Amino acid sequence: MAIPTLSPASEVSAIVLPRTGSASDVALQTPIGVYDNTTDFLSGAADQVAYTYQKLGGDILDIELTTGSIYAAYEEAVLEYSYILNMHQSKNILSDVLGMTTGTFDHDGELKTGALSSSLSGGYVSLKYPKITFSFNQRYTDGVSTQAGLGGTTRIYSASFAAVEDQQDYDLTAIIASSSVNNIDAATGNSVPYTGLVEGKRLIIDKVYYKTPHAMWRFFGYYGGLNTVGNLANYGQYADDSTFQLVPVWQNKSQAMAFEDAIYTRNSHYSFELDNNTLRLFPIPVNPGSVTPEFYHFDFKIVEDAWSETSGSVDGINNMNTIPFANIPYVNINSIGKQWIRRFALALSKETLGQVRSKFATVPIPGESVTLNGPALISEGREEQGNLRSELKETLDQLTYQALAEKDSSISDSVNNLNKNIPAGVFVG
């Protein structure tokens, strides 16, 4: 049976997809226009017309689609690709960027302002790799280091107060607040660096101490003599007949540290209790400056509220939605991504064509009727879209930082096991 000549030539309408598109017309027909300013995107969308024309048999049958339909499908495919990759990257880095600076986005989802950090800044944040380096982890360890007395950047302030006859308890928070308002330290009379910084803030007291003449620090206590242990415990206090013992350097250092600590403990006749920043002195001050110390000093830290605006925690990244990810720039999509986009755009075009042809189940022709394949195209297009999404997501799941680390570990283990079976060479010397 001869193939019937269709009349009219178009199966559904007078609109027929041309063989090729035009890059100059793309920007006028995309529904969202996210990539309309990108020359490569315009060319890619125009090429998609020819790709769709050939794949859907345009040389044989009419394709009832406009070039605008193809351009829209291509734009949606790029946005879908960007969406899936950004979802993947969100899983990779969310735990590392929580609390960092977020950004603001326009109606197209493009990043308007914002920077991840000083090292991860700009509009292409989604392309940055947060390297786990010392400087990166320093933010997390800084607070611990400061509290442990091992460094850190949290500033430690010093304040003082004058002891009062027969007064045992002192409110250190009130003393700090008064010095902050008056800008005067009670002991030194100098200005304080924490003026205006302590109101409404939580304060942590680190150390309480008093000062005595340096001569007392050096010469208070045991003077030395023939006893070796005594000489080791007293630096620079040797008698003419002193004896010495060779000890490792680490032991000398440990003794020096212990001696420094003993200045405030073993040699002191005074002690204190600290309860909710209220200081209680022992013994009760008597004739301050003569019998008991006149001034007491203490070190403290100002704790920034985690919810304050100055800490950067409130407006920072708190979930996947606030990560400063814009749509992936088209120029950064490689050949792998562009082929996925072509295939996905074709699947979208099939679904659209199926919707068009489903308007009529059949088309009458002289002496015959033609059944259209609208439902089949819709089903095929949606199935291909689902398969492409699954393919991309499965690939990306294998490329998470965790999966790559596990793979590297497995390779390392395999190499080590292989090396175990290689006989070691015999050294002849």
SS (H, E, C) 252-295: HHHHHHHHHHHCCCCCCCCEEEEECCEEEEECCCCCECCCECCE
Q: Which residue has better confidence, 220 or 415?
A: 415
Widest Cα–Cα separation across the chain: 132
CB-CB contact of 144 with 262 (8 Å): no
Residue 5, domain member (yes or no)? yes
Which residues form the domain of 379? 1-130+319-411
Q: Are residues 74 and 18 in the same domain?
A: yes
Q: Are residues 160 and 303 in the same domain?
A: yes
- The pLDDT of 211-227, averaged and rounded, is 45
- The pLDDT of 395-405, averaged and rounded, is 88
Torsion of the alpha carbons at 271, 274, 275 and 280, rounded to the nearest 10 = 50
Q: Are residues 68 and 162 in the same domain?
A: no
Q: Are residues 5 and 121 in the same domain?
A: yes
- Using pLDDT thresholds of 50, 70 and 90, give the confidence band for residue 115: very low
Residue 370, domain member (yes or no)? yes
- Using pLDDT thresholds of 50, 70 and 90, give the confidence band for residue 139: low
Q: Are residues 353 and 392 in the same domain?
A: yes
Residue 374, domain member (yes or no)? yes
- Using pLDDT thresholds of 50, 70 and 90, give the confidence band for residue 5: low
Q: Are residues 100 and 158 in the same domain?
A: no
Asked which of 117-121, 270-274, 405-409 is least confident by mean pLDDT, the reply is 117-121
Most confidently modeled range among 58-67, 92-101, 334-343, 366-375: 334-343
CB-CB contact of 309 with 92 (8 Å): no
Query: Of 278, 310, 342, which residue sits at a domain end?
Result: 310
Q: Is the dihedral of CA 295, 301, 307, 310 positive or negative?
A: positive
pLDDT at 109: 80
Rounded Cα distance between 169 and 279, Å, is: 6
Query: Of 254, 276, 310, which residue sits at a domain end?
Result: 310
Residue 284, domain member (yes or no)? yes
Q: Are residues 171 and 302 in the same domain?
A: yes
Query: Of 268, 293, 310, which residue sits at a domain end?
Result: 310
3-state secondary structure of 370: strand
Closest CA to 17 of 75, 63, 83, 61: 63
Backbone torsion region of residue 54, taken as left when φ is above 0, otherwise alpha when ψ lies between -120 and 50, otherwise beta: alpha
Residue 78, domain member (yes or no)? yes
Rounded Cα distance between 4 and 370, Å, is: 10
Token match 């947060």: residue?
A: 130
Q: Are residues 306 and 323 in the same domain?
A: no
Rounded Cα distance between 203 and 172, Å, is: 9
Q: Which residue has better confidence, 149 or 424?
A: 424
pLDDT at 78: 96
Residue 422, domain member (yes or no)? no
Rounded Cα distance between 188 and 288, Å, is: 16
**How far is residue 385 from each of residues 206, 226, 339, 340, 396, measured CA to CA in Å?**
62, 92, 14, 10, 17
Residue 424, domain member (yes or no)? no
Residue 322 is given by DSSP the state: G
Query: Residue 20 pLDDT > 90, yes or no?
Result: yes
Q: Are residues 24 and 74 in the same domain?
A: yes
CB-CB contact of 11 with 64 (8 Å): yes
- Using pLDDT thresholds of 50, 70 and 90, give the confidence band for residue 72: very high
Q: Are residues 225 and 183 in the same domain?
A: yes
Number of domains in the chain: 2
pLDDT at 387: 97
> DSSP strand E in 27-102: where?
none
Return the H-helix or E-strand segment holding 160. Answer: strand 156-162
Q: Are residues 182 and 289 in the same domain?
A: yes
Instruction: For residue range 182-195, list pLDDT tens digits in order.
Output: 999 988 889 999 99
Rounded Cα distance between 13 and 8, Å, is: 9
- The pLDDT of 227-253, averaged and rounded, is 54
Asked which of 142-151, 201-210, 299-308, 367-376 is least confident by mean pLDDT, the reply is 142-151
Half-sphere exposure of 288 (CA within 13 A, CB side): 19
**Is residue 283 reached through a cis peptide bond, with omega within 30 degrees of 0 on the bond before it?**
yes
Residue 235, domain member (yes or no)? yes
Q: Is the dihedral of CA 34, 38, 42, 47 positive or negative?
A: negative
CB-CB contact of 196 with 184 (8 Å): no
Q: Are residues 324 and 262 in the same domain?
A: no
